[in-house]
Structure 1
């Protein structure tokens, strides 16, 4: 009898339950949240959301609380009452970021919205970055994203490169909180300057193709849109540390005040990477800092100040020498860690190639809610870079030999320089690349009604780059004779040699976008127009002739060099993009976009021969792009094609 009663009780309890379902929705990114947690509060009974944000959870009959949460977002509690066998649909549960100012930053950053913005897009969350980073460089985490190829190149800290749809970084726009960071002279991105970026990143959105940005930027192959951590709304902190088996240590510490009663919130993150690299003599000594201070000023205004930087030094390997054939050859004959760039001098290791740089960047965002329909966002920013890379000049040390294991021999060169009466035959030099960059970006958005929105703004930037070589180490000699280049026959450590010039690039642009959207359909048209002004001052290629005219130094090498300004050049550029997205149903969408891009050339194409020689045949680069795409999401399955 007792057994029968027990069996009846168990059976009754097993069937006294219902089902709760819903969709976890990112209120900031305006898309479904994959991996959000839905748990019966106070229990371990829970599930995670699928690709389409949906979840389904069995719960006991009666009243309970469902807790929906995701790292970096505020938790939502839903009180429910479920009858035996009943299904309760919570619908779309919107989770908001727990960071102060994130929504305003997304406005500036042109974040694409899934199933609305008609571009091919993938988003990498902070959780994915931390789970996959390990000993990898920041760009390498993106290589699982469709259309993205990333490589360590030579293998030194921050020497990674990323390609999107086969386009190199010169044709990829990299944005941090909506601010373009591609070098204004050549369009490249040097990841060693952003060594601590992974510690402070909230999400990365890869937009393939011309992208959703309204700015006139290098988005031919795609746009890498990086959003950093704004100030946290809750107080807290963390300490993390990791190391590799080959001796590279990483550590970071962070602290947040949370949103104080004064309306202030402060978040600070500090990190370091130190030790020996996987590749021979690619040691690293790097630090990083990231600070955000947000301040609410009443109901309509708020400020956000950011400061970031990553001072670093690291040994490198010349990746230009390592194609697939030589890499495989070294792997078979020696080992993949082989580096031909180092040897011994007086019994101590020396790597001829070292990179050292520090590029602090600061920005001040002002957000103004003019009214319910109109908002203005303005950011002023500046960066100051200093540093460069080392190498040899003149006679080189004896070469390494991977077949025998021999390393560079610096002692013979050192002895030659010591004995020389005509100065050092070969030296170590630094190629210095300092810059100052100032910018202002202002964006106005206005909603005419629930369906039509206008975005317009101004984008201004001014850049000065200072480039020269200097003597790093005379390697035993008394001086270095650089008469032919700089006119200095007695160059000492720290003296400028070989070349010295300043490059100036100024940019002013205006942009506008009109967007129409309903629940199932959205379309946009974007246009930009810009003017780029170039100038150059050369300090080593020109001298004064006997009549007092500035002339080329060739044939006049012994004369004193004078500063010579090039003729300023102005160049117009413009873009036009249109696109549309249609949601056929809740699972299936299609989109299309096309655009025309007339890009002003980089400054290397304006002035030729490393002088002030003007390129009279200079023309804009033109790009025409078109794309069709489709997406399908259903619970635990998702596929995209374009």
Structure 2
């Protein structure tokens, strides 16, 4: 019944807004696009574009920026579902949009691709406290507009980091909360020196013990930019990155443990010589990632502008594991003979390393006048990543030597894309949008993988991604749009490891929307139909290091209705509900069960709930105080693609309370901002993510095959809090 209650609240809110809405004459504000915004205009869309999107600004993020990762702060946007391995929203966190996994969500930072070139995933844990350096972001749902890097296959997130500040400033922020969580950062800006030069930076530390046992997080990060600006030129050098050390919590727990001990973590478990259960204290993921960007924006006149972006990203790190009774042969080692006894196994501590370099160059030209806004550009990137493993300790060393690699592999990827897109205003009511992109991918691997199996990939892909749309402005308060977009996307490294014959996926996305806006009421509604061919859906299973395993699903589709609004009940009180109703189907699924090939027919796509709702009830009597009650409902979903009851995740309804208050000061500080959030105030014991697996049991009955099903769960934190203070100078 919970989702019906949330829906009723949304509908009542909308009806109330219509009854209380005042008729006012809207004014049209004309603003000059800043040079900072030119960094991302090529990958973002305007408010009236025929692309479904949401914008989030710095002020909105700051209200809840107390240490949790960026995906968690986007949780209340339409069609968004988030999760956290450690349960508290810090460390390894994930985001799904319209049921689409993170591997299919394109992320750019200042127009530079952030998705890992090989895994296609985004690891926000490597950029601790990046939220504190975000000026704005845009979340596009569906294929969206052409972007740099791997194609958006269900959503894209375009991040713009801190803009150039005219005034000098400094601030210190500290926050503390449940699970021994604490965040400390310091920021500064020199303001414009001699009206042209600004230097700004940030240092941050975030630590947490995590909700799950031992799922600790230690994040250190930095952000530094130097900028030169005049009326028509912006040159920005931006350096940012971080070091993360997180205790592993990707194993999940089974259903019985979820009932009895939902914070249990099996990572690092072993048995000592006395037969006692122990947990290895350094079962961690340890990774350093640094980004070096140089941007040159030039505005030649009111019509022409250009942007050139250069990037180098260096990543290096490992995860460490204690493994019991490992076969010497699995590590290319000889058995050990002691006297008359031959040992075939040993306890070891291993590290699996990733050491990579990523180079990007982006360039685009923008022409605009009263009728046309056109972009031409392209992006080229090259990636070189080494994968190797080390045994750093062994109970029996065999013929291993210090710093020996028990496997070595390499991946190289080149990605070239060119695009041309334009919005053409036919008249005061009609405008057309067109977008053509060509993308060429060359991916090669060599060596052996962690299973000591040769991995030799040599694939080249050529993708053509056309997009078109039309917007009709009925009046100053209403516009309607329709768009079509095609996307193609290559498999990732793990896909090839699990299936050498894996195929690229293709999506045809149709969007039909209506936007209504008046002074105290905004309403957006859109219908989407996403038609897939060989969609790489999550199978439900994970590999031995927690990575999701994907598989081609033949023909599939997602059909949905998204509604969002912002309703001003009074000057101090507003409601911001959103809801997504969808059906997400594989058209035909076959699989083996109990040794027999089964035709499952049409099934639900994994991790794709039919209902996702959000709401924000905001009370702001003045500019200093804001109190928000944030609610999220996620309907039940399957973790596999056969509609097995074993794979079902229950629905959940979670509420957070957020309070901020700003004291304006006349001496020492400009202001002091106190903020706090109580997450999950109703103490819901919920699970937002998990995995599903099957295996054939042939031991119980030699004459038949019995398929065993199982599931793992990642429990999320019960009621917890964070409080913080920011001192602004």
Q: Deviations 1:609-629 (Å, cap 9, x if unpaired)?
A: 79xxxx5x6654221111111
Q: Does 1:306 align with 2:224?
A: no
Equivalence map 1:436-455=2 (5 Å): 436-447=357-368, 449-455=369-375
Q: Does 1:529 align with 2:438?
A: yes
Equivalence map 1:182-261=2 (5 Å): 182-215=115-148, 217-261=150-194
Q: Which residue of 2 aligns with 1:357?
A: 287
Secondary structure, aligned partner of 1:310:
strand
Give how far 1:237 is off: 0.5
Secondary structure, aligned partner of 1:490:
coil
Out of 522, 535, 547, the position equivalent to 1:638 is 522
Q: Which residue of 1 aligns with 2:464?
A: 574
Give how far 1:243 is off: 0.9
Separation (CA, whole Å) in 1 of partners of 2:268 and 2:498:
31
Give how far 1:234 is off: 1.0
Secondary structure, aligned partner of 1:360:
strand
Contact 1:155 1:278 in 2 (8 A): yes
Secondary structure, aligned partner of 1:132:
coil
Give how far 1:519 is off: 4.6
Separation (CA, whole Å) in 2 of partners of 1:119 and 1:356:
39
Name stretches of at least 5 consecutive residues in structure 2 with no aligned partner.
Answer: 1-16, 327-337, 527-729
Structure 2 CA distance for partners of 1:600 and 1:540, relative to 1, 3 Å: closer
Q: Which residue of 2 aligns with 1:584?
A: 474
Q: Does 1:119 align with 2:51?
A: yes
Structure 2 CA distance for partners of 1:107 and 1:378, relative to 1, 3 Å: same
Equivalence map 1:498-577=2 (5 Å): 499-517=407-425, 519-538=428-447, 568-577=458-467
Q: Which residue of 2 aligns with 1:435?
A: 356
TM-score (norm 2): 0.62
Separation (CA, whole Å) in 1 of partners of 2:450 and 2:147:
40
Q: Deviations 1:70-99 (Å, cap 9, x if unpaired)?
A: xxxxxxxxxxxxxxxxx99894456779xx
Give how far 1:331 is off: 4.5
- Determine which structure has more spread, i.e. the larger CA radius of gyration: 1
Out of 578, 581, 597, the position equivalent to 2:487 is 597
Cα RMSD of the aligned pairs, angstroms, is: 3.4
Separation (CA, whole Å) in 1 of partners of 2:365 and 2:178:
51
Q: Which residue of 2 aligns with 1:560?
A: none
Secondary structure, aligned partner of 2:92:
coil
Separation (CA, whole Å) in 2 of partners of 1:88 and 1:458:
44
Secondary structure, aligned partner of 2:211:
coil
Separation (CA, whole Å) in 2 of partners of 1:458 and 1:469:
36
Contact 1:341 1:352 in 2 (8 A): no
Structure 2 CA distance for partners of 1:248 and 1:541, relative to 1, 3 Å: closer
Bigger shift: 338-347 or 528-537? 338-347
Structure 2 CA distance for partners of 1:215 and 1:393, relative to 1, 3 Å: same
Equivalence map 1:38-187=2 (5 Å): 91-93=27-29, 101-108=35-42, 110-114=43-47, 116-155=48-87, 157-187=90-120
Give how far 1:275 is off: 4.2
Q: Which residue of 2 aligns with 1:30?
A: none
Separation (CA, whole Å) in 1 of partners of 2:365 and 2:216:
47
Q: Deviations 1:550-581 (Å, cap 9, x if unpaired)?
A: xxx99xxxxxxxxx995854321120001122
Q: Which residue of 2 aligns with 1:495?
A: 404
TM-score (norm 1): 0.70
Separation (CA, whole Å) in 1 of partners of 2:353 and 2:25:
62
Name stretches of at least 5 consecutive residues in structure 1 with no aligned partner.
Answer: 1-50, 57-86, 397-416, 482-488, 543-552, 555-563
Give how far 1:586 is off: 2.3
Contact 1:581 1:592 in 2 (8 A): yes
Q: Deviations 1:429-471 (Å, cap 9, x if unpaired)?
A: 1111121000100001112x41023211121000011111111
Contact 1:271 1:289 in 2 (8 A): yes
Secondary structure, aligned partner of 2:475:
coil
Separation (CA, whole Å) in 2 of partners of 1:272 and 1:96:
36
Q: Which residue of 2 aligns with 1:332?
A: 259
Secondary structure, aligned partner of 2:73:
helix
Q: Deviations 1:189-224 (Å, cap 9, x if unpaired)?
A: 112112121111122211100112344633121111
Q: Deviations 1:225-282 (Å, cap 9, x if unpaired)?
A: 1121123221011000011132121011000000111611111011001242222112
Give how far 1:529 is off: 0.9
Q: Deviations 1:42-94 (Å, cap 9, x if unpaired)?
A: xxxxxxxxx99xx99xxxxxxxxxxxxxxxxxxxxxxxxxxxxxx99894456
Secondary structure, aligned partner of 2:115:
coil
Give how far 1:520 is off: 3.6
Structure 2 CA distance for partners of 1:277 and 1:590, relative to 1, 3 Å: same
Separation (CA, whole Å) in 2 of partners of 1:185 and 1:307:
23
Separation (CA, whole Å) in 1 of partners of 2:459 and 2:296:
33
Equivalence map 1:291-440=2 (5 Å): 291-296=224-229, 299-319=231-251, 321-322=252-253, 326=254, 329-334=256-261, 336-342=262-268, 350-351=280-281, 353-395=283-325, 425-440=346-361
Separation (CA, whole Å) in 2 of partners of 1:512 and 1:89:
37
Q: Which residue of 1 aligns with 2:621?
A: none
Q: Deviations 1:287-345 (Å, cap 9, x if unpaired)?
A: 1100111113x6543311111101111112124x34xxx36x435312x3221224587
Secondary structure, aligned partner of 1:445:
strand
Separation (CA, whole Å) in 2 of partners of 1:174 and 1:188:
9
Structure 2 CA distance for partners of 1:93 and 1:583, relative to 1, 3 Å: closer
Give how far 1:368 is off: 1.9
Secondary structure, aligned partner of 2:237:
strand
- Detail structure 1 runs of 4+ shifted over 6 Å in the superposition: 87-90, 344-348, 539-542
Separation (CA, whole Å) in 2 of partners of 1:111 and 1:252:
30
Separation (CA, whole Å) in 1 of partners of 2:249 and 2:449:
30
Contact 2:516 2:523 in 1 (8 A): yes
Separation (CA, whole Å) in 2 of partners of 1:350 and 1:369:
57
Separation (CA, whole Å) in 2 of partners of 1:152 and 1:230:
30
Secondary structure, aligned partner of 1:103:
helix
Separation (CA, whole Å) in 2 of partners of 1:620 and 1:275:
39
Contact 1:236 1:256 in 2 (8 A): yes
Contact 1:117 1:212 in 2 (8 A): no
Q: How many residues align?
A: 491
Separation (CA, whole Å) in 2 of partners of 1:273 and 1:437:
26
Secondary structure, aligned partner of 1:192:
helix
Structure with more contact order per residue of length (Cα contacts < 8 Å, sep ≥ 6): 2
Give how far 1:595 is off: 1.4
Bigger shift: 125-134 or 374-383? 125-134
Separation (CA, whole Å) in 2 of partners of 1:283 and 1:230:
33
